Amino acid sequence: KMYDACEALRDSLLAVGIGIDGGKDSLSMAARCGEEVVKAPGELTLTCYVTCPDITKTVNPDLKCPAEGSKLLFIDLGNGKSRLGGSALAQVYNQIGDDCPDIDE
């Protein structure tokens, strides 16, 4: 599956003319938790970039507070399930969790 996903990604990037700056596959990631070895699910993480002819028209993730006010929208892509088990956020809050982040098919 991972190989097919990488091929599809390559074809898509070539079609739109953008490149990938970096990436990592987690097929070989594992962590020891006591006596148990927990293996990461297969996933591909990457960073993309494109040329920007006008830098004044870029968007960045910092929050703005204009005088006329603004709105911050939350889009629940997890459909209310809040699955954070095994995630970096859960680890920061010293929580293990039961359900790892996933996408429902």
Q: What is the pLDDT of residues 10-32, one digit of tens each?
A: 898 889 887 776 655 555 667 77
Of 50 and 44, which is predicted with more confidence? 50
pLDDT in tens, 49-93: 677 788 888 777 777 777 888 887 888 777 777 777 667 777 777
Q: Please return the burial class of 64, using the count of CB atoms within 10 Å of its CB with bins 0-12, 13-18 and 19+.
A: exposed
| Residue 84, φ and ψ in degrees, nearest 5 | -120, 5
Contact 42, 48 (CB under 8 A): no
Q: pTM of the entire structure?
A: 0.32
Between CA 5 and CA 74, with CA 91 as vertex, the angle to 5 degrees is: 65
DSSP, collapsed to helix, strand or coil, labels residue 10 as: helix
> Among residues 47, 30, 45, 42, which one has the least CA distance to residue 2?
42
* Bridge partners for 46 per DSSP: 23
Contact residues for 13 (Cβ-Cβ < 8 A; gap 6+): 19, 20, 48
Residue 99: pLDDT band (50, 70, 90) is confident
**What does the block give as tokens for 28?**
């070989």
- Output the pLDDT for position 18: 79
**pLDDT: which is higher, 100 or 57:** 57
